[in-house]
């Protein structure tokens, strides 16, 4: 795909608009100029024709005729004129007009293209020797002997006067050319100005892009500059970007932590097994020593197996957690699952002297697979038993709420420190790692519970007071089969 | 020699401690968390410290920094599950002398700890020589001149410690501290018997006594010839 530049596009649009404006303005100017100039031209023609009329004088002969007094010679050389008396006698004409052409123009004034009548004259275009002229025909009256009684004799004369039209056109063209060049100049100027202004105006955008391009998996630092956050259009983008990056960073770090913790757990597990075996082979031992050594190694192996098993369980639970919408298609009776778990854990509870008390609404069903619910219940109950002193009872409460089923596992054990509470559901998080190791904890149990509960569309929360006990509350949607 | 082992994984700690006791015959103290570890290290009676990196309370790096901050020059070996260079560089720069990544080889761990103990005492070779007395710490054999000397494990350990510190007066308390783990006081009475036996075995027919007893001050390994190292 071709690179798309906002700056270039804006400038091009701007220039096209300006060009259109220039064309329209030039067109209007041309029209206006032409009209004005021709108006002035007509007036000038008329004026010259009138001055020609002024040069018609009494000839002073018997017939009381008129003649030109010679002042007509002062008129411009490239103009045409013809003065004729009422009897058709030509009183005078300009030298650059042949008599024949002049006569034709005189006799057929109306035959020319588009004669116009105004200012008391008739205007029409004529072409003489290839040069376009505009002519005016004016009828005038010259009084002969105005001192005599009766006011003298009126002699009518016809005056034709023409001037080359090319000069007017040239002037109009020059005027329009001037406008056009001005427009081009303004366009160049605005283009340069636009480039500069856009560069300046888009600087925050460029800064934001630069900031964003610095972000990578290794460096999550994203701090939009003051100028970016102060820009109204960019602020939401910068904030959204910051939020997304923060979330990504968090999830990356968590994943990193998980991998690192998992590696630590597994490597430690392998180290235990390996060192147990190497210890056995370090020197000759008795058969009884070998047997007890191998038995210990087997226990080490089993612990490692448990860790691997839980990791896989967690990975699976979290994997399906991501596939939201794929809800459980089965209902399961909570009471039967809890009874099963309590039976299973009875030897452990007995060994530790911890009574497990049940308080359940019977017949409550939740939307879950039995195995999932069993895992959650077993993990929580086992934790409660392990963290309780002998004689302290563990309560499992199951209640039907409106749309949910609530399962609470309460103990009166050692409790969890307030600092650790927000982290208890994180993978491999152990409030007191040494104790957890003694009890065989992997730091994965609660993470598995959370992954499963979230997958079921429920919630899990822990409340705890050090020295008083811990209460874990699980809510799962009720089964509406 | 007495080693401090700080490791929260109980089974791993058991195995390492047993291996160190059975192999080179070191006394081993075990701490299960960082705070206990840093407390014990503060006693200053260890010939080497083995630190796990991930510990509850205070991590291995924290213990190391605190030790080095108190000018404790005891050799430190770090056990770590992380093998990336950045982490190792940080460790070594913080004052660690050596490291092993989990899962490690028990034999290698023992060899490295022995090397660290030697280095800590300014000795480079596993065969120690003081005068005509020679001790091979790999085979755990002792010879004086051409004569091979049979020693009990405790006698061997007493001599090993003294040979690492020739011509230095070693108090009875120091000897006890470095030979036994935290319950060394129970051994207080037997150490004299061990020393007496050791002296008899070493000197045999020789005229020059090898181990001097300085009343109220301690013991000194002294041989007429310059030690060759």
**Are residues B79 and B42 in contact, defined by beta-carbon separation less than 8 angstroms?**
no
* Residue to substitute from B5, B13, B14, B15, interface A, most A β-carbons within 10 A: B15
Query: Among partner residues B9, B16, B23, which is closest to A437 by beta-carbon distance?
Result: B9
CA B17 to chain centre: 13
The rounded distance, in Å, linking the Cα atoms of A132 and A169 is 11
Please give the Cα distance from A300 to A12 (Å, whole number).
Answer: 75
Compute the nearest-CA separation of B25 from chain A (Å): 13
Mean pLDDT of chain B: 86
DSSP letter for each residue of A24-69: HHHHHHHHHHHHHHHHHHHHHHHHHHHHHHHTEEE--STT--EEE-
Rounded Cα gap, residues A405 and A182, in angstroms? 82
If you compute the radius of gyration of chain A from its CA atoms, what whole number of angstroms results?
A: 55
Q: What is the pLDDT of residue B225?
A: 52
* Whole-angstrom distance, CA of residue A72 vs CA of residue A56: 9
Residue identified by tokens 């007493």 is: B158
Angle between helix B10-22 and helix B106-120 axes, rounded to 10 deg:
60
Cα dihedral B115→B119→B121→B124 (10° resolution): 90
Q: How many CA atoms lie within 13 A of B129 on its CB side?
A: 10
**Which stretch of A85-99, B125-139, B148-162 has the lowest confidence by average pLDDT?**
A85-99
- Please say whether the beta carbons of B76 and B48 come within 8 A: yes
Q: Which of A102-116, A367-381, B148-162, B183-197 has the lowest mean pLDDT?
A: A102-116
The alpha carbon of residue B48 and the mean position of all alpha carbons in its chain are separated, in whole angstroms, by 6
Residues in chain A within 8 Å Cβ distance of B82: 260, 263-264
pLDDT of residue A5: 82
Low-confidence ranges of chain A (pLDDT < 70): 1-2, 60-64, 105-114, 150-151, 320-329, 430-441
3-state SS, residue A430 = coil
- What is the pTM for the complete model shown? 0.59
Q: Provide the pLDDT for residue B229.
A: 44
DSSP B170: B
Judge: B82–A300 Cβ closer than 8 Å, yes or no.
no
Contact A267 B15 (CB under 8 A): no
| Phi, psi dihedral angles at A100 (to 5 degrees) | -60, -50
* Contact between B221 and B130 (Cβ < 8 Å): yes
Q: Cβ–Cβ of A271/B104 closer than 8 Å?
A: yes
Residue B226 has pLDDT above 60, yes or no: no
Q: How many CA atoms lie within 13 A of B194 on its CB side?
A: 19
Share of chain B above pLDDT 90, in %: 28
Task: Report the residue of chain A nearest B105, measured CA to CA.
Answer: A275
C-alpha distances (whole Å) from A247 to each of A241, A448, A457, B70 are 10, 22, 22, 42
Q: What is the mean pLDDT of residues B84-101?
A: 89
Inter-residue contact A123 to A113 (CB < 8 Å): no
- Pick the residue from chain A with its C-alpha nearest to B12: A272
pLDDT of B227 > 50? The answer is: no
Kindly provide the ipTM of the predicted complex, given to two decimals: 0.77
Q: Residue B18: its pLDDT value, please?
A: 92
What is each CA distance from A45 to A31, A41, A234, A430, in whole angstroms? 21, 6, 67, 110
Contact B102 A432 (CB under 8 A): no
Nearest to A86 by CA among A14, A183, A175, A158: A158
Q: Which of B82, B102, B105 sits opposite A260 (nearest CB)?
A: B82
Q: What is the per-residue pLDDT across A117-142, written as a single tens digit (0 to 9) for each?
A: 777 778 888 777 778 888 888 888 87
CB spacing of B56 vs A434 below 8 angstroms? yes
Report d(CA A133, CA A130) in Å as an integer.
9
CA nearest to A420, candidates A446, A386, A457, A451: A446
* Distance, CA of B117 to CA of A343 (rounded, Å): 54
The token pair at B204 is 């045999």
Whether pLDDT at B163 is above 50: yes
Residues of A with CB below 8 A from B32's CB?
A: 434
Give DSSP secondary structure letters for A188-224.
HHHHHHHHHHHHHHTHHHHHHHHHHHH--SS------
User: Helix or strand or coil: residue A475?
Assistant: strand
- Burial string for B137-170 (b: 16+ CB within 10 Å, else e) reads beeeebebeeeebebeebbbbbbbbbbbbbeeeb
CA angle A156, A162, A168 (to 5 degrees): 145
Residues making up chain A, counted from first to last: 481
B16 touches chain A (CB under 8 A): yes
Tell me which long-range contacts A9-18 makes (C-beta under 8 A, separation of at least 24). A10/A194, A10/A198, A11/A191, A11/A194, A11/A195, A11/A198, A14/A190, A14/A191, A14/A194, A15/A187, A15/A190, A15/A191, A18/A183, A18/A186, A18/A187, A18/A190
The angle that helices A203-214 and A166-201 make with each other, rounded to 10 degrees, is 40
Q: What is the pLDDT of residues A366-375, one digit of tens each?
A: 888 888 889 8
Q: Do B102 and A283 touch (CB under 8 A)?
A: no
* Residue A74: strand, helix, or coil: helix
The runs of H, that is alpha helices, within A202-286 are 203-214, 226-229, 235-281
CA distances from B159 to B17, B134, B135, B164, B202 (A): 22, 11, 9, 9, 10
């Amino acid at each position: 795909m071709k690179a798309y530049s906002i700056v270039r596009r804006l400038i091009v649009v701007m220039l096209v608009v300006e060009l259109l404006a220039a064309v329209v303005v030039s067109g209007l100017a041309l029209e206006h100029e032409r009209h004005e100039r021709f108006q002035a031209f007509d007036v000038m023609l008329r004026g010259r024709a009138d001055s020609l009329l002024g040069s018609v004088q009494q000839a002073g002969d018997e017939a009381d005729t008129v003649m030109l007094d010679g002042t007509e010679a002062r008129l411009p050389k490239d103009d045409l004129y013809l003065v004729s008396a009422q009897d058709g006698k030509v009183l005078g004409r300009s030298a650059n007009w042949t008599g024949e052409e002049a006569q034709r123009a005189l006799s057929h004034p109306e035959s020319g293209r588009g004669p116009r009548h105004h200012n008391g004259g008739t205007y029409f275009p004529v072409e003489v020797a290839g040069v376009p002229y505009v002519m005016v025909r004016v009828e005038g009256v010259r009084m002969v002997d105005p001192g005599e009684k009766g006011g003298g004799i009126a002699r009518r004369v016809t005056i034709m006067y023409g001037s080359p039209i090319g000069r007017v056109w040239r002037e109009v063209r020059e005027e329009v050319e001037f406008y056009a060049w001005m427009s081009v100049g303004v366009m160049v100027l605005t283009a340069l100005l636009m480039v500069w202004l856009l560069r300046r105006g888009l600087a925050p955008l460029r800064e934001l892009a630069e900031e964003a391009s610095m972000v990578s998996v290794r460096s999550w630092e994203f701090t939009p500059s003051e100028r970016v956050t102060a820009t109204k259009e960019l602020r939401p983008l910068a904030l959204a970007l910051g939020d997304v990056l923060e979330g990504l960073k968090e999830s990356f770090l968590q994943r990193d932590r998980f991998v690192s913790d998992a590696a630590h757990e597994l490597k430690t597990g392998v180290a235990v097994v390996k060192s147990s075996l190497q210890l056995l082979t370090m020197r000759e031992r008795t058969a009884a020593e070998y047997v007890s050594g191998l038995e210990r190694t087997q226990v080490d192996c089993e612990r490692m197996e448990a860790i691997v098993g839980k990791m896989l369980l967690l990975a699976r639970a979290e994997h399906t957690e991501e596939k939201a919408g794929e809800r459980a298609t089965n209902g399961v009776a909570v009471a039967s699952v809890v009874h099963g778990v309590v039976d299973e854990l009875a030897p452990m509870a007995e060994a530790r002297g911890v009574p497990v008390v049940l308080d359940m609404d019977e017949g409550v069903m939740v939307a879950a697979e039995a195995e999932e619910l069993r895992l959650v219940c077993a993990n929580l109950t086992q934790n409660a038993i392990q963290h309780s002193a002998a004689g302290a009872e563990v309560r499992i409460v199951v209640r039907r709420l409106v749309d949910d089923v609530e399962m609470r596992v309460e103990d009166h054990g050692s409790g969890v420190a307030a600092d650790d509470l927000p982290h208890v559901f994180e993978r491999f998080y152990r409030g007191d790692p040494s104790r957890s190791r003694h009890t065989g904890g992997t730091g994965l149990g609660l993470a598995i519970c959370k992954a499963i509960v979230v997958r079921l569309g429920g919630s899990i929360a822990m409340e705890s007071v050090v020295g008083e006990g811990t209460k874990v509350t699980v809510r799962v949607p009720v089964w509406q089969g | 020699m007495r080693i401090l082992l700080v490791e929260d994984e109980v089974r791993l700690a058991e195995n390492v401690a047993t291996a160190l006791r059975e192999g080179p015959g070191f006394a081993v103290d075990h701490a299960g968390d960082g705070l206990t570890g840093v407390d014990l290290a503060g006693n200053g009676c260890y010939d080497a410290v083995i630190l796990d990196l991930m510990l509850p309370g205070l991590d291995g790096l924290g213990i190391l920094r605190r030790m080095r901050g108190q000018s404790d020059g005891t050799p430190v070996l770090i056990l770590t599950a992380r093998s990336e260079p950045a982490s190792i560089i940080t460790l070594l720069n913080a004052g660690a002398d050596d490291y092993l990544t989990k899962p490690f080889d028990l034999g290698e761990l023992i060899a490295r700890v022995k090397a660290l103990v030697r280095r800590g005492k300014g000795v480079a070779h596993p065969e120690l020589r003081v005068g005509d007395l020679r001790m091979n710490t790999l085979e755990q054999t002792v010879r004086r001149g051409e004569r091979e000397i049979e020693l009990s494990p405790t006698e061997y350990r007493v001599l090993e410690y003294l040979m690492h510190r020739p011509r230095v007066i070693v108090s009875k308390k120091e000897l006890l501290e470095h030979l036994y783990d935290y319950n060394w006081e129970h051994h207080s009475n037997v150490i004299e018997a061990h020393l007496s036996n050791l002296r008899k075995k070493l000197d045999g027919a020789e005229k020059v006594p090898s181990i001097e007893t300085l009343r109220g001050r301690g013991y000194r390994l002294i041989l007429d010839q310059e030690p060759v190292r």
